[in-house]
Structure 1
Amino acid sequence: MNFASLPDRRASLDPDGAAVSDGRQALTNVQLLRRVQAASRHLQDLGVGPGDVVALRLTNRVEFVLLLFAAWRLGATITPVNPSMTDIEVARQLTDSGARLMVSEDGETAVADGTAVLAVGELHDAAAEPDQAPLADPSALALLIYTSGTTGVPKGVMLDHANIDAMADMGRRALEVGPADRCLLILPLFHVNGIVVSTLIPLLAGASVTIADRFHPETFFDVVERERPTFLSAVPTIYSMLAALPDQVRPDTSSLRFGVCGAAPASAELLTRFEARYGFPLIEGYGLSEGTCASTINPVAGPRRAGTVGLPFPGQEIRIVDADGSEVPPGVEGEVVVRGPNVMRGYLGRPEETAKVLVDGWLRTGDVGRLDADGYLTLVGRSKDMIIRGGENIYPKEIEDVLVGDPSVLEAAVIGVPDEKWGEVVVAYVQPRPGSTIDPSALQSLCARSLTGFKRPTAFFVVEAIAKNPVGKIDKVSLRAAHTEVSARS
């Protein structure tokens, strides 16, 4: 199923069925098709055609979805842009991607030479003439997703239609999504998770999508009770905030079958505590933009193993390899590598960096993990986050999982800092739960009970909030930089 023609298919099968909505408008399938056709004609009139790149600098709204399908209808590519980025950062992405057009919120102006700007409020909602038939080319570039830049300058991940078609079908099967489902979209649409898991998978399955306003823990369950979604996808930070709501918050969550938890590691304690309180399971998965979002998931109906990120999606293979690239046995830690039709074409304009991560058809993730005898994957940490203390390798996730087990800790981030004697030592940043006070001495005792001596943090820093990147992952690059700056002044 090529997504360029999905609106046509939905309108043909169920014209009056619900398709997509936000707080301003709700579209049936036939209305979705008509709006996509109008937007496609508008883009075509602005000179957009096969191979062109259209940038979307938009908040979560129906028009984002319309423009996805409108661009694909013409054989064009979408590159989502984080609306909160600075003009310098936006200009860099527009220049690197070669974007012909940027669709932005009303009132914004051009930030890069050669890129025209269309205000979203000016987007046509009715076509003066019929649009062209959808161009269905599996090899055409569908999405150009820029990595978050936590390991350097953001790179454009090239995902073609074959990639997104494969990933959406894998997700539909693994999550058992069908026409009766209703997805609540709360993650940003500038990230591949929001596009694939919360938009393309439900629309492919004949389900509908409700785009929520900006996430606020205090009002989130009001939206759930009003919209009655059957599933959603979010990051651990969001679930942690919901789990930290006052005990008297007891919403009706009976419509929800599950919540997908991904984009960053979650502790087994959070998953267990959340389900016990709210009555629906969190299904933890794992993936990268380079793999079109997801590579493993705990089963929706089968046995879930807390602390793991589940089994490979149907059609994907997972291996654990050592430094030489040789596969290691179950239970042995090594680098996670992935193979399947979802793996990216490469990084735009960066053949050398592409060659480093795409080796003999396998995507080298840079993540460290192990497989058990049944194929469930447990992540140990990012190889780039690994701390080396006196020759001992330390993965922060193990320590972070211990720290969030303390009832006063909402989130924890562990980093390595330079040390004259050991090379690096461990320090921990911790964020308290609302209404709680963190006692560092209690955390020291907790770590002493749970961790070998060399893994224990040498210092605890209590902060109001731990820095995140735009997709909700803890930003350890900025955390290390801030720590170094403070240390230099003291």
Structure 2
Amino acid sequence: MSPSLESLSSLPDRRAASDPAAPCLADDAVTLNNAEFRAAVESAAAVLHGHGVGAGDVVAVMLPNTVDLVVTLFAAWRLGAAVTPLNPALSADEAGYQLTDAGAKVLVTAGATAAPVPVVAPGELKHGAGPAPAVPGSAERLALLIYTSGTTGRPKGVMLDHANVTAMCAAIIEAYELSPADSSLLILPLFHVNGIVVGTLSPLLAGGHVTIAGRFETRSFFERVRRCRPTYFSAVPTIYTRLVELPEDVEVDTSSLRFAVCGAAPASAELLERFERRFGVPIVEGYGLSEGTCASTANPLRGPRKPGTVGIPLPGQRVRIADGQGRTLGPNEIGEVLIAGPTVMRGYLNRPEETAKTIVDGWLHTGDIGYLDADGYLVLVDRAKDMIIRGGENIYPKEIETVAYRLPEIAEAAVIGRPHPVYGEVPVMYLAPAPGHPIDTDAVRRHLAASLAKYKQPVEITVLDALPKNAVGKIDKPAIRRLDAAARTA
């Protein structure tokens, strides 16, 4: 079952027609075969249609990892609408911004919420009356609006059309040799494009099935693997770190697993080797970003896997390294990573200037720094701007600093990433007071907590008389990192 331009909108019907009783989706409480999946999508589409959702609209969904979230995706696509998934950990301010910026028609979520749009409870989706009109699939129609934090203020909506998503799934299916015999165990959040594309859409399009874990739990993970018998899963380095640190007496059965995928943050060669040696499962490390519909490179499933690299370009994609003038560099020459191919986003929603800076002559400028080795494997040497990756979650310091600057007593604010043995990095904040205004760090914490998700909040706040500056008077973050490292050493 290979992806086609109508794959997303018609997939439930094709699966039900092909093998109605075959397994399709399961979560911690619900199991659906193909026929039940189609019925659930039809019911949800009827409910959304009753709320005025139609072609060109945007449906927002803020749910934990459940079958309901996947059903909502396909119900919206059936109506010709796009979907913007929200992290359930977002504050009311953050969620309200995304809903408004995306122009969401409705929000599918559980529990009470002061959303600026009509709310549909997931239970309501199960009681749709009559089939809603199905809109024919279109490659150019918007499929997903994935919000990614920017380095200058509010998050941006990454526009991915159906052509982007189906091309990405086709690349995953080809690279990982997915077939109807495959099934994934989804442990990454479904508000990330990785969870949507690698963990859910690709196996479903290949004819396989998906088991959705409501949340990742280290102690019970391998028991879940034993019961569900997945052939692969995708995770971030933090999860692999927790798994290799399990007590040696924990019983595991990994015989069903063909491979595991690692992405979202750099993983050390030592971590990958420890996991493979202990559990006998090869890890395929890759690299990508939301603007590229998830993944652009990966170490090959068959062929040399090079620890310390993020592999070779996935099928249909091109990667080159460029200098500051856009000239292509040769092997082992360090520059900016550029990506081209059918997975490059349509652009940022309502941000034509930022889109024009990011996509130049069809090439996506990632802002990441790296090089291609002599064999064409990509090696990353630095990350975009000052981004912090905490357990696979992208955190942009500017967003936190912007909130801090709302307090009049703060003259200078800088957030950096501090190394952490489990999460990879955690955010820490350095502040300098305005003259005559002492800073109460507890008050700052309360202020940040009112506007930021918990994972973005600094684990430590340090107040200095003034923050280090560089030669042109800008806050010198490398100097702050050195200061922070020295303080920890002392």
TM-score category by the smaller chain? Answer: 0.7 to 0.9
Provide closer, same or farther for how the CA distance between residues 33 and 428 of structure 1 changes in structure 2, counting only shifts above 3 A: closer
Distance of 1:428 and 1:353 partners within structure 2:
29
**Helix, strand or coil: the match of 1:202?**
helix
Alignment of 1:263-278 (within 5 A): 263-278=264-279
Provide closer, same or farther for how the CA distance between residues 18 and 360 of structure 1 changes in structure 2, counting only shifts above 3 A: same
> Which residue is 1:121 aligned to?
123
Unaligned runs of 5+ in 1: 387-395, 398-412, 416-423, 434-473
Aligned 8 A contact 1:229 1:255 in 2: yes
> Which residue is 1:81 aligned to?
86
**Helix, strand or coil: the match of 2:421?**
strand
Provide closer, same or farther for how the CA distance between residues 25 and 297 of structure 1 changes in structure 2, counting only shifts above 3 A: same
Aligned 8 A contact 1:108 1:119 in 2: no
Provide closer, same or farther for how the CA distance between residues 233 and 148 of structure 1 changes in structure 2, counting only shifts above 3 A: farther
**Helix, strand or coil: the match of 2:215?**
coil
Distance of 2:152 and 2:193 partners within structure 1:
18
Aligned 8 A contact 1:79 1:143 in 2: yes
Aligned 8 A contact 1:287 1:293 in 2: yes
TM-score between the two structures when normalised by the length of structure 1? 0.79
> Which residue is 2:112 aligned to?
108
C-alpha RMSD of the superposition:
2.6
> Which residue is 2:448 aligned to?
none
Aligned 8 A contact 1:159 1:292 in 2: yes
**Helix, strand or coil: the match of 1:128?**
coil
1:264 partner amino acid = A
**Helix, strand or coil: the match of 2:155?**
coil
Distance of 2:418 and 2:126 partners within structure 1:
51
Alignment of 1:245-324 (within 5 A): 245-324=246-325
TM-score between the two structures when normalised by the length of structure 2? 0.79
> Alpha-carbon deviation of 1:153?
1.6
1:208-231 C-alpha deviation (Å, 9 max, x unpaired): 000012111111111111111110
> Which residue is 1:23 aligned to?
28
> Which residue is 2:37 aligned to?
32
> Alpha-carbon deviation of 1:151?
5.7
1:108 partner amino acid = A
1:346 aligns with 2:350: no
Distance of 2:334 and 2:317 partners within structure 1:
20
Provide closer, same or farther for how the CA distance between residues 254 and 93 of structure 1 changes in structure 2, counting only shifts above 3 A: same
Distance of 2:54 and 2:207 partners within structure 1:
28
Distance of 1:182 and 1:323 partners within structure 2:
43
Alignment of 1:143-158 (within 5 A): 143-149=144-150, 152-158=153-159
1:124 partner amino acid = K
Percent of residue pairs bearing the same amino acid type: 56
**Helix, strand or coil: the match of 1:367?**
strand
1:193-212 C-alpha deviation (Å, 9 max, x unpaired): 10000011000100000001
> Which residue is 1:444 aligned to?
none
Distance of 1:300 and 1:313 partners within structure 2:
11
**Helix, strand or coil: the match of 1:123?**
helix
How many residue pairs get aligned? The number is 411
Distance of 1:58 and 1:380 partners within structure 2:
35
| Larger deviation, residues 171-180 vs 244-253 | 244-253
Provide closer, same or farther for how the CA distance between residues 427 and 92 of structure 1 changes in structure 2, counting only shifts above 3 A: closer
Alignment of 1:123-202 (within 5 A): 123-125=125-127, 127-149=128-150, 152-202=153-203
Aligned 8 A contact 2:47 2:124 in 1: no
> Which residue is 2:471 aligned to?
none
Distance of 2:129 and 2:18 partners within structure 1:
25
**Helix, strand or coil: the match of 1:95?**
helix
Unaligned runs of 5+ in 2: 390-394, 398-413, 424-453, 468-486
Provide closer, same or farther for how the CA distance between residues 262 and 427 of structure 1 changes in structure 2, counting only shifts above 3 A: closer
